[in-house]
Structure formats: C-alpha cells, structure tokens
Amino acid sequence: MAFDQHGRHIDYLRVSVTDRCNLRCLYCMPEEGVAWRPHEAMLTLEEIARFIAVAATEGIKRIRLTGGEPLVRRGIDDLVRSAVRTPGIESVAMTTNGILLPKMADSLRQAGLSRVNISLDTLDPEQYRYITRWGTIDDAFKGIDTALATGFKPVKINVVVVRSLHQDLLAFARMSMDRPLHVRFIEYMPVGESCGGAGLGWTAADTIPNEELIDLISQSAAAAGLGQLTALSKPSEAPDGWGPARYYHLEGAQGTLGFISALSRHFCGQCNRLRLTAEGELLPCLFSDLKFDAKAALREGTDEDVRAVLLDALGSKPSSHHNRVGTERLMHQIGG
C-alpha cells in the first residue's frame, strides 16, 4: 500500500496517453499554435504499460486513461487490455469526449474497460460547437448512447460549469431522470489563464462554487416540477463510492447529480492520486509545477529506477494546492 508523506493512501493513477485532441474546448486547449511535441517525446504504449505494472506493485489499484483525447491514440485498446491484466490493477476507466466511442466501444469493452466519463458541457447544439470549437453535438450524444448500450457502468457525464456561459443546467438534471446517467458538475478551473492559452480571459469569477450551484439546481428543479434534490446518504448509493464528488438525486431518477469542487471546497485532504503525462512526467499534484522524470527511468533504467521515481513523487505530494490554480501546462497536457 502506498502512502504519501501526509499519510494519504495513494491508489489511483491518471494516465494521459496523448496531448492531442479532435476538439478544441475553449477552457482546455487553444485552437491554433499548440507546439506539438515530436512522437518520440511521448511515452510508447509499452512504456506506459510498464509504468502501470511497477505502480501496481506499489499499491496503485485504479487507472484512468485520459488526454488530450485518449481515443485518438492508436492502440489504446491494447493499452487497456494490458492494464486490465496487470496484477494488482482492479479497474481501468477512461475520460473521453465520446466522439469516437461508436467506433471503438466494443473493442474497449472487450479489452476490459469498465467505465467511462464523457465530457459534455451543454445540451444545446450551437453552444456545444461554440465551446468545443470543432464538435457536433450529435456525435457526443451517439457516444453516450453507445456507452450505455455497450454496458459500461457507470456512465458519467462531466459538465464543466462556467458562469459566463450561462449553461442550461436544469437540462442536465433532466438527463439524469430517464437513463442511468450520472451527471457531475465540475467547477471551472482557470488553469490556462496563467500561461495565456485557454479560457477566453475567464477568471476565478467564472467558477461557480458548488454550494451556489447546488442551490441553483435545487431551486430550478423544484420550480420545474422535477421534485426534491436530495443528498445521497450512503456511499453504496453513489455510482462508485464517494470519490471526490458529493452526490444528490432527484426523486424517481435513474441517475444521480454529482458536484466536484476542486476549488471552493477542495478535496486535497482525501487526494488519492498521481498523474502521468503523455511525455512521461509524473505529477504529484494538478496545480503544482513539481514533476518527476518517469520517461528517463523507463527508457534508461530498471524497474527499481521507475519505482524510485514513483516514490519520489509520493514523497513530494503537497498537502494541498494552497489555492494556487494554474501551472506551466494547459489542461490537455495534464489530463484533467
């Protein structure tokens, strides 16, 4: 079992498999001018699989594949298969924009992928195109339909809420009624602002604190006759335990509504994760520039060297992000 220097139990690894993407969401990635790193700078799938195998011997049990868009990485299903077969790994999940799921869901499921989070910030076609710059909402809807039909469980919808966007959040509450969809509202993080790349100048004022959001949705759901928004009382009622979200549900709903607050009520005290970037940097915290060179250990070293990098990162995990938001990287380079 791995513990960090603050006694937190670390069993979760988020792996960004690429910094490339088939969309260009306003808050995540600039439309143009991204300085693409050469292919050789990225970890190969074999290197990622080896890192996961070493991490599993140190107590990592759960893997989430992310990006950029993980489904644009060729061979991603092979990586899923090898991660699933790694002794000690209990679940392999993915965060995706869902666009390529209709093509790839079957092979991912057969490879052992158990769950998917699909990012969708609006149910309005024009607003979807505006936010993603390149996307067509029907493609995301087809991705969601496919995820449910393929049997991924749970299927969660990640909604980044930005005050200036005036998203119709009640529409998402409705979405949780008819199908087993677990909608999670995520506070916008003005990450890219500090390096000038993303967010259209949105600042911390564009982050709607979870408490405000819960009130807002609760009131508008009641006014629309959707019933009472009730907090789930037991972890067993949540889609997969508690995680960092607080979960609620509307009476009679098949799904739930979750609220994730990285900022207004951060969960650093319960942080259980490390992040591996596509370039092989191991990051102890989303909001820190601290990084550890896993790529060099993977390319030039033994498994013991890889383990040493992992233990260095664990030993350096900050106790909290200390309200610093923003690093030298944009979100598509970290993986969210």
Give dist(CA 43, CA 46) in Å, integer.
8
Residues of span 200-239 touching ligand SF4 by CB under 6 A: none
Q: How many residues bind ligand SF4 (CB under 6 A)?
A: 13
The site partner of 186 among ligand SF4, ligand SAM, none (C-beta below 5 to 8 Å per kind) is ligand SAM
Nearest distance in Å: CB 17, ligand SAM = 10
Cβ atoms of residues 181 and 118 within 8 Å: no
The site partner of 29 among ligand SF4, ligand SAM, none (C-beta below 5 to 8 Å per kind) is ligand SF4
Cβ atoms of residues 113 and 93 within 8 Å: yes
C-beta of 56 vs 101, nearer to ligand SF4: 101
Give dist(CA 48, CA 256) in Å, integer.
33
Beta-ladder partners of 207: 162
Q: By Cβ distance, which residue is nearest to ligand SAM?
A: 336
C-beta of 22 vs 264, nearer to ligand SF4: 22
C-beta of 97 vs 167, nearer to ligand SF4: 97
Piece of 45-53, 62-70, 243-251, 318-326 that binds ligand SF4 (CB under 6 A): 62-70
Residues that bind ligand SAM (CB under 6 A): 21, 27-28, 66-67, 69, 95-97, 119, 158, 160, 186, 188-189, 191, 331-332, 335-336
The site partner of 259 among ligand SF4, ligand SAM, none (C-beta below 5 to 8 Å per kind) is none
Q: Is 178 exposed, middle or buried (0-12, 13-18, 19+ CB in 10 A)?
A: exposed
C-beta of 32 vs 300, nearer to ligand SF4: 32
Give the Cα-Cα-Cα angle 155, 160, 165 (nearest 5 degrees): 135
The tokens for 225 are: 């006759």
The site partner of 197 among ligand SAM, ligand SF4, none (C-beta below 5 to 8 Å per kind) is none
Nearest distance in Å: CB 116, ligand SAM = 9
C-beta of 221 vs 244, nearer to ligand SF4: 244
Residues of span 9-48 touching ligand SF4 by CB under 6 A: 21, 23-25, 28-29
Place of tokens 């998917």: 116
Sign of the torsion angle spanned by Cα atoms 80, 84, 87, 91: positive
246 touches ligand SF4 by CB under 6 A: no
R_g of the chain computed on alpha carbons: 19
Closest CA to 240 of 71, 119, 117, 105: 117
Beta-ladder partners of 293: 281
Residues of span 63-122 touching ligand SF4 by CB under 6 A: 67-69, 97, 119
Nearest distance in Å: CB 66, ligand SAM = 5
CA 273 to chain centre: 12
Give dist(CA 149, CA 56) in Å, integer.
31
Closest CA to 249 of 320, 180, 148: 180
C-beta of 166 vs 234, nearer to ligand SAM: 166
* CB hemisphere CA count around 54 (13 angstroms): 20
Which residues would be at the binding site for ligand SF4 (CB under 6 A)? 21, 23-25, 28-29, 67-69, 97, 119, 331-332
